Structure 1
Amino acid sequence: MFSRNDFSIWSILRKCIGMELSKITMPVVFNEPLSFLQRLTDYMEHTYLIHKASSLADPVEGMQCVAAFAVSAVASQWERTGKPFNPLLGETYELVRDDLGFRLISEQVSHHPPISAFHAEGLNNDFIFHGSIYPKLKFWGKSVEAEPKGTITLELLEHNEAYTWTNPTCCVHNIIVGKLWIEQYGNVEITNHKTGDKCVLNFKPCSLFGKELHKVEGYIQDKSKKKLRALYGKWTECLYSVDPATFDAYKKNDKKNTEEKKNSKQVSASEESDEMPMPDSESVFIIPRSVLLWRIAPRPPNSAQMYNFTSFAMVLNEVDKEMESVIPKTDCKLRPDIRAMENGEIDQASEEKKQLEEKQRAARKNRSKLEEDWKTRWFHQGPNPYSGAQDWLYSGSYWDRNYFNLPDIY
């Protein structure tokens, strides 16, 4: 691991307040040794929730599992403050996990704006999970905000059901000085396009005393907006389901206690800072008769020395001789700057990254001279079949293992 304290990030970012960061070149020391295409794959760590949703006949119970999956998809970001490498145009990534019952392909389909498309499918033909993400990054002086533009779609094939949603906004605090910490905030609305049911989850922004830190709560409601279930928990820990009336009574009581506490404590100006607030309690208060939907898997003991990776993230770069002979040459497991960084060779990683970026710029200039448009290989642009929003959809044939005319990007 390398210390960011040896570098002046302020000298790079001071001219960027309020701007998008996708065009700013950052020193490699601020990265983690994964491409953003691999970071997207973290969504799949808790694939068992999709398999479970697929096995349930009751659509409300299915929605609970889908909501838990949507929350679990951002859980891996907790304490992951390293920036993934920006994918090169045409870069790909594949992951096959027989033990978790899925395979996934992703491709960088656009450079400006940077758009990453992915398509995962259950090995038992029980689901398809796909999306295209355009992370809009903005720097606000003390923090970097990442707004994940793009639709995420989950199809449960046995039930002929499709769900769509967008991830919450992610914010990394204290990027200039102090301890880095991450929060997720905003509403996530999951729609079941077959039944009209919706699950609206609110990822709470952190309050002054840390009371709302990491909290997520919301309701599953039918198309007439009748509340069917209440969901609550922390995106870093767990998610529970309970009867809405029970939850509302608990919330009412909790609000009363909070107001009493607030009135008895005056807030001084010195307490208002960007330092990471401590939550009022580390664990979630479990309301009686609640059902546990999901709990985060513990991280391995050496996680802090390995970029705070989960066990799932630690194997995303693994490639053996047999795999190397079948994956396309555009797969980021073969990318030299990421490989160098994973081996702890920071100077070589920096040099390799610079060369790859120069090669990408030269290729773009050459296409411009020849008036050629970039052609994506595994995805095409089109409307999302359920939400109608602009999307990138899988074109098929990747797993035929017949790769030809691939771009020379490394």
Structure 2
Amino acid sequence: MAEEEEERRRHLVLAKPFSLEDENNSEHTASNVIRRILSLFKNVRPGSDLTNFQLPPQLNLPRSQLQCYGEMIYSLGGQDLLGACSRRDLPIERLKSVVTWNISTLRPVVFGMSPYNPVLGETHHVSNGYINVIAEQVVHHPPVSALHATHEKENIDVMWCQYFTPKFRGTYVDVEVKGKRVMKLLNRKETYEMNQPRLIMRFLPTPGAHWAGKVKIKCPETDLEAELNLISDSFIERFRGNKNRSIKGKIFESSTGNQLYNIFGHWDRTVMAKNLKTGELEVIYNAKENIAELKPPTVKNPKEVMESESGIIWSEVSEGILKNEWESAREAKSLVEKKQRESLKQREASGELWVPKHFSMVKDGKDWDCSPLHSTVPRAPLVVTEAEGETINQFQDNNNLC
């Protein structure tokens, strides 16, 4: 049994993060995805009941939503943007660094393709340098995910609790990402509260997906605040197939409204900050330096990988997708979903309540709030490093990965 358990832990598949350059992969263009969707429905009769229709693996990215969340923090191209938030001496410089880090969490989205919905209790635990990240699925209906990250050297604490509320708007789906994001610079005794942008999945005039809406970042201790507007594409730009990922914003004093900086640029290229007092311009973010050529984690300590690790739970599904073995992937996905339903039935029969392992949670009306049970996140058995390590997935090549 011990050998079987160790072998299961070693069979862990995590596809590489979706990077800036991967958008040019023809496999994931909107037209190809639409053709794939239509091919899946070619044998479905008009008027058929689609109530129990399950998303087939052909429309899944080979990763769980938990991995997507974790990547937004631990997966960056060489720069420690999180640690920089506390290293700056002046409060205004620290807020600019928090703005830069927040922009770095924006990643390209593949239209029509979806990560797996995490199962209840699923976890994802990864370290990169001084950054340690743990994510857990704390509620299944609705799907609520909690994430805790800590920076060992700079004594930084990041807490996310988030869930989606999609709404159909006719020609597009508006996905509101609810919950909270809080960063604490413990050495500075500062707290930064921020909300999350919306995700727009548009069908007409041309299909595509992009981030939109207003992001607010506020620090009560320094009386400083930032607003970032992610600009939605215009009808003409959408018709021409252009991608407008521009950002416009400002940094100002909360109490007086006195504006200190203008923020502008494109989150998938560069973002600038203009000092309104001196007129000085500076590049505060370069996407090519931070979200390009991203690498997957590797296994450092196989015996320490939790049974609930996302890469273990979905390993056979991801392996089937990466090999284009769709029937194998479908069977593996059905098995994961079946196990989740059986676990739910067992808990209901015994009257057992589900208790998350790493977070406490509170429901206030329709909203959820999560808090970590521990003050720091321990070093993970999965690491992002250039050093020697056991590669997680032997099927990872640039032709197959998204």
| Residue 219 (1) aligns with residue 219 (2) | no
| Residue 391 (1) aligns with residue 369 (2) | yes
SS at 1:150 equivalent: strand
Alignment of 1:191-270 (within 5 A): 191-210=218-237, 213-223=244-254, 224-244=256-276
Aligned residues: 332
| Residue 311 (1) aligns with residue 280 (2) | no
Q: Which residue of 2 aligns with 1:54?
A: 86
| Residue 361 (1) aligns with residue 341 (2) | yes
Tell me which of 298, 311, 316 is aligned to 1:333. 311
Equivalent-residue separation in structure 2 for 1:395 and 1:214 (angstroms): 37
Q: Which has the higher contact order (CA 8 A, sep 6+)?
A: 2
Output the amino acid matched with 1:27. Answer: P
Tell me which of 153, 167, 181 is aligned to 2:196. 167
Q: Which residue of 2 aligns with 1:251?
A: none
SS at 1:43 equivalent: helix
Equivalent-residue separation in structure 2 for 1:185 and 1:73 (angstroms): 14
SS at 2:244 equivalent: coil
| Greater shift in the superposed pair: 44-53 or 191-200 | 44-53
Equivalent-residue separation in structure 2 for 1:201 and 1:401 (angstroms): 33
Alignment of 1:106-185 (within 5 A): 106-174=135-203, 180-185=207-212
| Residue 32 (1) aligns with residue 13 (2) | no
**Contact 1:35–1:338 (8 Å) recurs in 2:** no
Equivalent-residue separation in structure 1 for 2:368 and 2:175 (angstroms): 20
**Contact 1:78–1:236 (8 Å) recurs in 2:** no
Equivalent-residue separation in structure 2 for 1:400 and 1:183 (angstroms): 33
CA separation of 1:359 and 1:213: change in aligned 2, threshold 3 A:
same
| Greater shift in the superposed pair: 343-352 or 29-38 | 343-352
Could you tell me how far 1:362 is from its partner in structure 2?
1.6
| Greater shift in the superposed pair: 336-345 or 34-43 | 336-345
SS at 1:42 equivalent: helix
**Contact 1:119–1:129 (8 Å) recurs in 2:** yes
Q: Which residue of 2 aligns with 1:187?
A: 214
Percent identity over paired residues: 22
CA separation of 1:24 and 1:221: change in aligned 2, threshold 3 A:
farther
**Contact 1:204–1:212 (8 Å) recurs in 2:** no
Deviation string for 1:245-281 (max 9, x for gaps)? 79xxxxxxxxxxxxxxxxxxxxxxxxxxxxxxxxxxx
Equivalent-residue separation in structure 1 for 2:119 and 2:158 (angstroms): 23
Equivalent-residue separation in structure 2 for 1:361 and 1:82 (angstroms): 24
**Contact 1:205–1:212 (8 Å) recurs in 2:** no
Equivalent-residue separation in structure 2 for 1:352 and 1:212 (angstroms): 36
| Residue 105 (1) aligns with residue 137 (2) | no
More strand by percentage:
2
Question: What TM-score do the two structures reach when normalised by structure 2?
Answer: 0.74
SS at 1:89 equivalent: coil
Tell me which of 71, 83, 93 is aligned to 2:114. 83
Q: Which residue of 2 aligns with 1:70?
A: 102
CA separation of 1:350 and 1:139: change in aligned 2, threshold 3 A:
farther
Output the amino acid matched with 1:378. Answer: H
Question: What TM-score do the two structures reach when normalised by structure 1?
Answer: 0.73
Equivalent-residue separation in structure 2 for 1:399 and 1:88 (angstroms): 23
Output the amino acid matched with 2:230. Answer: F
Equivalent-residue separation in structure 2 for 1:401 and 1:219 (angstroms): 37
Equivalent-residue separation in structure 2 for 1:331 and 1:212 (angstroms): 35
Deviation string for 1:67-94 (max 9, x for gaps)? 11112211x2255763111100000001
CA separation of 1:147 and 1:352: change in aligned 2, threshold 3 A:
same
| Residue 6 (1) aligns with residue 36 (2) | yes
**Unpaired segments ≥5 residues, structure 2:** 1-26, 382-402
Could you tell me how far 1:132 is from its partner in structure 2?
1.0
Equivalent-residue separation in structure 2 for 1:298 and 1:161 (angstroms): 28
Equivalent-residue separation in structure 1 for 2:266 and 2:380 (angstroms): 41
**Contact 2:260–2:277 (8 Å) recurs in 1:** no
Could you tell me how far 1:213 is from its partner in structure 2?
1.9
CA separation of 1:383 and 1:130: change in aligned 2, threshold 3 A:
farther
SS at 2:105 equivalent: helix
Output the amino acid matched with 2:118. Answer: P
**Contact 2:161–2:368 (8 Å) recurs in 1:** no
Deviation string for 1:346-374 (max 9, x for gaps)? 22111111111111112112211222211
Output the amino acid matched with 1:232. Answer: F
Could you tell me how far 1:155 is from its partner in structure 2?
1.1
**Contact 1:144–1:173 (8 Å) recurs in 2:** yes
Output the amino acid matched with 2:378. Answer: W
Tell me which of 272, 282, 304 is aligned to 1:291. 282
Equivalent-residue separation in structure 1 for 2:193 and 2:285 (angstroms): 20
CA RMSD of aligned residues (A): 3.2
SS at 2:235 equivalent: coil
Deviation string for 1:43-99 (max 9, x for gaps)? 22346222222111111111111111112211x22557631111000000011112x
